[in-house]
Amino acid sequence: MNRVQTAVVIEDEAETRGIITLILSQSGFAVHACERGADAVEAVRSLRPELVTLDLGLPDIDGFEVARQIRVFSDTRILMVTARSREIDMLMGLESGADEYVTKPFRPRELKHRVKALMRRPRKPDNEASWPRAGTQAAGLTILEHNGLRLSPQTRRVEADGVEIALTPSEFDLLRALMEGGRTVRTGADLAGILQGHITTAAGAYRDDGASRIVPNHIGNLRRKLGESRANPRWIETARGFGYRMTPR
């Protein structure tokens, strides 16, 4: 029997908390709701949910800090749901580890769509096998490799020069798309479509200016974790006016 998926709702406003809980329950989740950030971090640690919805304005610690603390031990999908609509808040949310950002007031249908898209992104398995040798296909595992960077789509693991890199689901999906594309330029619309779950291959495009704006922020976070600079990249190259691609081998 398949395990029921779990969601943790972190929201201090009772009405909004109830609406989100109802939407997720109708979508098949077992929902645990929290009003305070510190309680929510412990709930995520113990419940190991597949999804977290997170408000920014909490009574004890803000949502940015909650996301950062969760990211220390979990790669769960984090969907920020907040009344803060400024671009700087969205950027800080993505920087702290969120995968998606929805502003209030939201339409229930919109929230369901965002959740559905997020749930298409698999998480890293809890029990992972050792890395197979580069370029091999052992036990069904395929390894993508580029200039010392290795990625396993099945186990959702990434290594740079032998050091494992912890990525959010969004960062992993973007890196996988770029590595699979190689020197083919992936536009912001292409990559936004992948994040939204509309396309999964190098062909096609997804038109959503709002979603496209978050791609550079995820790419920036990805570069920071890989320890490379935009000016002199080892792996991810910006094709000015077009998008992104991998550097020459």
Mean pLDDT of 46-61: 94
Q: Which residues pair with 209 in a beta bridge?
A: none
Buried b (16+ CB within 10 A) or exposed e, 125-143: eeeeeebbeeeeeeeeeeb
Integer Cα distance of 224 and 210 in angstroms: 23
Q: Give ∠ CA 211-216-221 in degrees, rounded to 5.
A: 115
Q: pLDDT per residue over 75-114, tens digit each?
A: 899 999 988 888 788 878 888 888 888 889 899 998 998 8
Per-residue confidence band for 27, with pLDDT thresholds at 50, 70 and 90: very high
Q: Which domains does the chain have, with CATH numbers?
A: 6-119 (3.40.50.2300), 137-246 (1.10.10.10)
Maximum mean pLDDT: which of 32-41, 65-74, 111-120, 163-172: 32-41
Pair type for strands 100-103 and 157-160 = unpaired
Integer Cα distance of 19 and 173 in angstroms: 29
For residue 30, what pLDDT is reported?
A: 96
Q: pLDDT per residue over 204-219, tens digit each?
A: 443 444 555 778 888 9
